[in-house]
Amino acid sequence: MTLLLRRQAGTAEAESSQPPHCLPVRVYYEDTDFSGYVYHASYLRFLERGRTEFLRARGIEHRGMFTNGAPGGLFFVVRSMIIDFLKPAFMDDALLVETGIARVGGASVEMAQRIRRESGLVLTAKVKVGLVQSGKPMRIPEEVLARLKLTAVISKNIVENSKL
């Protein structure tokens, strides 16, 4: 399982003071529909990038998990998603994708996400992901769970301040 994790400096005390992970995203023409509004499916890509960078910041590497597509590779899969579209975003908007942990279970993780811009909240999402190996659900390895559980403490405020 050491392929999953890369070494991370710092102590639990230092990490517990961190805010939820934030990823800046710019809205491009390709993200919009004919009206210039962000197309609803584009938000899914923004949220996916936020979750991926969130994991990367915690030392959980997708490349190591996938083992280049080899049999036995581990994959996070989305089980469910609840999205509340609050306000539209437009071409050239600078958005911020905030990602945190709402709950960590033995085989799944609920992530809370928000997309905001300077003028306020655009979207909230609650995403439940699970881990599969060779096409079958599996428990999340202890090394990964430990990092996610630590982050769950950090992420409490993203859930408390969310409309979901």
What is the set of active-site residues?
Answer: 33
3-state helix, strand, coil in the chain (%, to 5): 30, 40, 30
Residue with tokens 């997309």: 115
CB 5 within 8 A of CB 58: no
Phi-psi region of 64 (alpha: psi -120 to 50; beta: other; left: phi over 0): alpha
Q: Give residues with Cβ within 8 angstroms of 13, minimum separation 6.
A: none
Which H or E element spans position 4?
A: none
CA 56 → CA 51, 90, 94, distances in Å?
9, 28, 22
Residue 138 pairs in a beta bridge with: 131
Angle at 24 between CA 154 and CA 114, to 5 degrees: 50
